[in-house]
Structure 1
């Protein structure tokens, strides 16, 4: 098997570009004591990112808003969201989402 050096360089470069943005903030922030307001603010970052990703996927297709009357993904997200809020169970949430999509695709 022949090794193509440019592919190896691209793989190593991708690893470095992926590794550095994760390690540098970790190294810097591990030596600092963040204020209480900063810690509270950081707690909202993961849920904000997830809401942005899920919201865009639920509400838009090919750059356009999907009318709610034809959006079965949004209809499936409603019971899924309720199960997630009330049970806090990842397995229950995933199963509910899959079942809701199955039923809605079968009906429509």
Structure 2
């Protein structure tokens, strides 16, 4: 699925390290950006197309989201703010199951 790169997305590599404490290379597209999210359950993008159809990009699939499972992204090192992300998500969704 080809997705249009937005200005904010194309500049992620410029501000990411300052905000999150780890480097991020320039990203070629939205699908690549999704694959860098801290957890597969968060790595889902939905877009309304010009013909009113809906496109879904989910590089890890949708299983974790539907199963309410939060696990680290297997394609990147554990995010420095992983504990903060877990605490925030668990506060919103008490039924969330966290796997490390």
Q: Normalising to structure 1: TM-score of the pair?
A: 0.22
Kindly indicate whether structure 1 or structure 2 has the higher relative contact order, using CA contacts under 8 Å at least 6 residues apart.
2
Q: Which structure's residues are more often strand, by fraction?
A: 2
Rg (Cα) greater in structure: 1
